[in-house]
Amino acid sequence: MESYTQAQSPFDRADGDVVLLSSDQVKFSCHKITLSIASPFFSDMFSLKQRDDQKDDVITGDGTPVVPVTEDSTVLYNLLLLLYPLPQPKTLLSLNMAASLLEAGRKYDIAVVKERAKTNLMSNIQERPLKVFAIACGLDMDEEARAAAHHLLTMTIESRHQELRHVSVLENVSAGAYCRLLQYLRAEGKVPPDFCFTHHDVPATAKTAASTQVETLLVDYPSHKLSLWSNTDFFHRNPQDVLVRSEDSYMFPAHCLVLSLASTHFAEILESRTIPSQDGSPPIIDLPEKAVVVYDILRCCYGLPPSDDDDADDLFSLIRVAATYQMAHALELLRNLMRPLISSTPLRTYFVSAALGWDDEAQRAALCAAKSGSVYVYVPEMETALTPVYYRLVQFRRKIFARSFEVATNDMMVRPRYLSTRIHKILAQQPAESSGGNISNWTKYYAARTELDNIMDGTLDSQLCQVRVSS
């Protein structure tokens, strides 16, 4: 039998008519009228007629109804303090508590909690702007995220860099939000008026144009895919025993055994989502993907490569779906197909590879991204990756450039074999400087870029090549 703890005063009163049970099993004696006035959520809950069979919800001896909540006792105590006519704490809430109260205030639609927590959050913006940015992004509060980013912009460069080193506070923030923060700072705040930190916003005109183009080009495309699949030889030799229905209602024939062997997840779907037929026709499995994606999923299940007309977008989407359905064999096939994209789309390849633990591909993609200068360019895969994955890439790029510059400047005279013939010609044309013959800054930069090219060509010394993206 579970044990419960009674909350401290004033939430231990005997005249309460409802008990809120925290996630750590602490009972808070409350009053329905107080909760109803403060929260439309609780008002609606208490106005609903209670079912007669809800005996498990009553754990008090006098039959007082109990409402379990997901908040722990500390959060729930601070939340309830704001609802009752009690002296309010004069000290500011911690940032973590403010974030928890903001989330709870939104869930229960309690205005006073949301306002108090928001005030506490913004009062910390000068001391901990990056933490405020992280909380704002996590709660989809773009205005507050913008204010935190603006404060970072007003800091001195040294202070800003010091603050940005506290990347651990962004561990639950999407890489997309972090990328937009870096873009904002690099642009010194000169971004379009509709620039959004919490999510990637595609302009309405672009959405309309893209939608029109797709509708024009792909009117009969799903039907064409279905026709290609249905007319394959193995369905003539081995009749279908299951139908796979796409999100847009196209029915694809398949075999239960093949799907089960291709993915344990599919095996579970066959057991839990199969709709029994009334007329003896094959059962139906519903998938949330569009027909064009289902077509490629089925091809992978049967050991076939994806469509020849698939582009990089299709391949990356298919990899995500295959990972979701735990299609191990298909993932290896798609991994091989992805490798040629490393040089052309390194950043997208990096995030996909990092998510799946494909270390070799992630390392190669990181090198390509560092060389191409695309590290700070937004890609859609950032929205499903977390900031630490992206931060490691940004730091990796900085280490690569720092190390290549060090090799190009410090070792240039000692180890000339690392320099190209073109660099030697440039050095020969440069007059000695009064400072002792050091090469000019522009020559150093050119040499550093040449050494970076050498990294990509695999010709640099092993010490530099040991700089890894995971470090």
Check residue 142 and give its pLDDT. Answer: 94
Rounded distance between C-alpha atoms, residue 167 and residue 131, angstroms: 9
Q: Residue 100 sits in a domain of what CATH number?
A: 3.30.710.10
Lowest mean pLDDT among 139-143, 183-187, 201-205: 201-205
Longest dimension (CA), the chain: 96
Rounded mean pLDDT, 122-139? 94
Rounded distance between C-alpha atoms, residue 68 and residue 57, angstroms: 8
**Cα Rg of the chain, angstroms:** 30
Instruction: Please give the distance of CA 320 from its chain centroid, rounded to a whole number.
Output: 13
Rounded distance between C-alpha atoms, residue 384 and residue 199, angstroms: 11
How big is the CA angle at 456 (ends 461 and 345), to the nearest 5 degrees? 155
Rounded distance between C-alpha atoms, residue 2 and residue 11, angstroms: 20
66-111: pLDDT as tens digits = 999 999 999 999 999 999 988 777 677 889 999 999 999 999 999 9
Whether residue 328 sits in one domain with residue 303 = yes
Check residue 413 and give its pLDDT. Answer: 47
* Alpha carbon distance, N-terminus to C-terminus of the chain: 48
Residue 403 forms part of a structural domain = yes
Q: Please give the share of the chain, as a percent, with pLDDT higher than 90.
A: 49
21-44: pLDDT as tens digits = 999 999 999 999 999 999 999 999
Give the residue with greater pLDDT, 441 vs 77: 77
Whether residue 76 sits in one domain with residue 21 = yes
Check residue 441 and give its pLDDT. Answer: 54
Last residue of a domain, one of 290, 321, 341: 341
CA dihedral sign, ordered 77, 83, 85, 90: positive
Give phi and psi for 172, each to the nearest 5: -105, 10
Domain that holds residue 24: 1-123
Q: Among 259, 244, 256, which residue's Cα sits nearest to residue 302?
A: 259
295-308: pLDDT as tens digits = 999 999 998 888 87
Rounded distance between C-alpha atoms, residue 372 and residue 368, angstroms: 6
Whether residue 130 sits in one domain with residue 117 = no
Check residue 33 and give its pLDDT. Answer: 94
187-214: pLDDT as tens digits = 999 999 889 999 876 544 434 433 444 4
Whether residue 149 sits in one domain with residue 228 = no
Residue 450 forms part of a structural domain = yes
Is residue 387 within 8 Å of 168, Cβ to Cβ?
no
Last residue of a domain, one of 291, 315, 341: 341
Check residue 404 and give its pLDDT. Answer: 65
Give phi and psi for 155, each to the nearest 5: -75, 160
Which H or E run includes 31?
A: none
pLDDT at 52 exceeding the cut of 80: no
Whether residue 257 sits in one domain with residue 312 = yes
Whether residue 36 sits in one domain with residue 53 = yes
Whether residue 13 sits in one domain with residue 98 = yes
Last residue of a domain, one of 63, 95, 123: 123
Whether residue 329 sits in one domain with residue 222 = yes
